[in-house]
């Protein structure tokens, strides 16, 4: 396939506050290929490194990559991964991450199906493993050169395994064996992206997850917002907020979770 134009982005995270992974992924924050462009590939690569001296020197390396590929028939495949590694002296620890894949079928239509699968591991709130598969019907509500609005709804099936490492001591139950859940869920999201001018772009998404059991629906609600400012032709500053509220967590961790980061992004 001939590549007319490729975009790869290297992001340097310069500040983060409460850096924790959520138990679901904010899928509308991943890289997209709009239908009205001729791009065949679009991608991002980001990384961060930190080092501090404790009893031993502790180094943390994090890397994230996303790639969207336009296939024949206006189909789009998106893959993403995130990996964190911590070294503590001579010990190396794989510390959290995810793998994600999404297939959107014929995005030239305003209404089309999308399917995705995700695997997460070692999330610091106590999520040891998560696997989920999702099938949605996505509707492009509006699109022009500046504004894109979309929504989707469908069903997902998830498996989660939790431990109690993220639970406060006073909230620990007598039985702290890991807990496993198998849940079918209804899911819905709304996506918004707008180019305010040549320098500023805003992207956000609202997410809603509901168990299909009416007796125990236990919803999860999430939101992501990103403010991007184009400093130069190849340099952009991003401000990111992600938050989630879980009405009844599997283990007694805080119901409210959030992370705030800002980053410098170099495009080429």
Does the residue 3 lie in any domain? no
Mean pLDDT of the chain: 81
194 has a pLDDT exceeding 60: yes
Cβ 37 vs Cβ 4: under 8 Å:
no
Distance CA 170, CA 214 (A): 31
Does the residue 256 lie in any domain? yes
Cα dihedral across residues 91, 45, 26, 160: positive or negative: negative
**Distances 125 to 22, 84, 164 between C-alpha atoms, Å:** 8, 15, 8
What is the domain extent for residue 175?
9-267
Cβ 204 vs Cβ 177: under 8 Å:
no
Does the residue 137 lie in any domain? yes
Residue 188: band (very low, low, confident or very high) from pLDDT cuts 50, 70, 90: very high
Does the residue 134 lie in any domain? yes
259 has a pLDDT exceeding 50: yes
The residue among 95, 99, 119, 101 whose CA lies nearest residue 20 is 95
Looking at the structure of the chain, the number of domains it has is: 1
Cβ 208 vs Cβ 136: under 8 Å:
no
Rounded to two decimals, what is the model's pTM? 0.81
Does the residue 67 lie in any domain? yes
Kindly state the tokens that stand for 29. 């924050």
Q: What is the DSSP string of the chain?
A: ---S----EEEEEEEEES----SS--GGGS----TTS--SEEEEEEEEEEEEESSSEEEEEEEEEEEEEE-GGG-EEEEEEEEEEEEETTEEEEEEEEEEEEEE--TTSSEEEEEEEEEEE--TTSEEEEEEEEEEEEEEEEE-SSEEEEEEEEEEEEEEEE-STTS-GGG--S----EEEEEEEEEEEEEEEEE-SSSEEEEEEEEEEEES-GGG---EEEEEEEEEEE-SSSEEEEEEEEEEEESS-SSSS-SEEEEEEEEEEEE-
- Residue written as token pair 């996505």: 138
pLDDT in tens, 103-125: 999 988 999 999 999 999 887 68
Residue 83's pLDDT is 81
**End-to-end CA distance of the chain, in Å?**
21
Kindly state the tokens that stand for 179. 């807990």
φ/ψ of residue 73, rounded to 5: 75, 25
pLDDT in tens, 150-187: 999 999 999 999 999 889 899 999 999 999 989 899 99
CATH number at residue 72: 2.40.160.40
| Burial 58-80, CB ≥16 within 10 A → b, else e | bebebebbbbbbbeeeeebebbb
Does the residue 1 lie in any domain? no
Residue 6's pLDDT is 39
């Amino acid at each position: 396939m001939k590549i007319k134009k490729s975009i790869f982005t290297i992001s340097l995270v310069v500040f983060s506050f409460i850096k924790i992974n959520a138990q679901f992924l904010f899928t509308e924050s991943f890289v997209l290929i709009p239908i009205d462009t001729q791009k065949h590939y679009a991608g991002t690569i980001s990384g961060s490194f930190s080092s501090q001296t404790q009893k031993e020197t502790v180094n943390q390396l994090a890397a994230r990559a996303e790639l969207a590929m336009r296939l024949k028939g206006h189909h789009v495949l998106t893959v993403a991964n995130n990996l964190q590694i911590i070294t503590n002296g001579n010990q190396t620890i794989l510390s959290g991450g995810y793998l994600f894949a999404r297939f959107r079928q014929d995005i030239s239509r305003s209404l089309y199906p999308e399917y995705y699968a995700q695997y997460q591991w070692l999330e610091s709130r106590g999520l040891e493993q998560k696997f989920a598969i999702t099938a949605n019907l996505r509707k492009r509500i509006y699109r022009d050169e500046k504004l894109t609005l979309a929504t989707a709804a469908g069903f997902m099936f998830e498996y989660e395994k939790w431990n109690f490492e993220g639970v406060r001591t006073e909230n620990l139950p007598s039985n702290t064996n890991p807990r496993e859940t198998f849940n079918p869920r209804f899911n819905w999201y709304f996506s918004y992206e707008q180019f305010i001018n040549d320098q500023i772009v805003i992207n956000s998404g609202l997410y809603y997850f509901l168990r299909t059991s009416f007796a125990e629906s236990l919803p999860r609600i999430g939101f992501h917002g990103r403010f991007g400012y184009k400093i130069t032709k190849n340099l952009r500053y991003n401000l990111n907020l992600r938050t989630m509220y879980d009405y009844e967590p599997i283990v007694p961790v805080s119901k409210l979770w959030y992370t705030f980061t800002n980053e410098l992004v170099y495009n080429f």
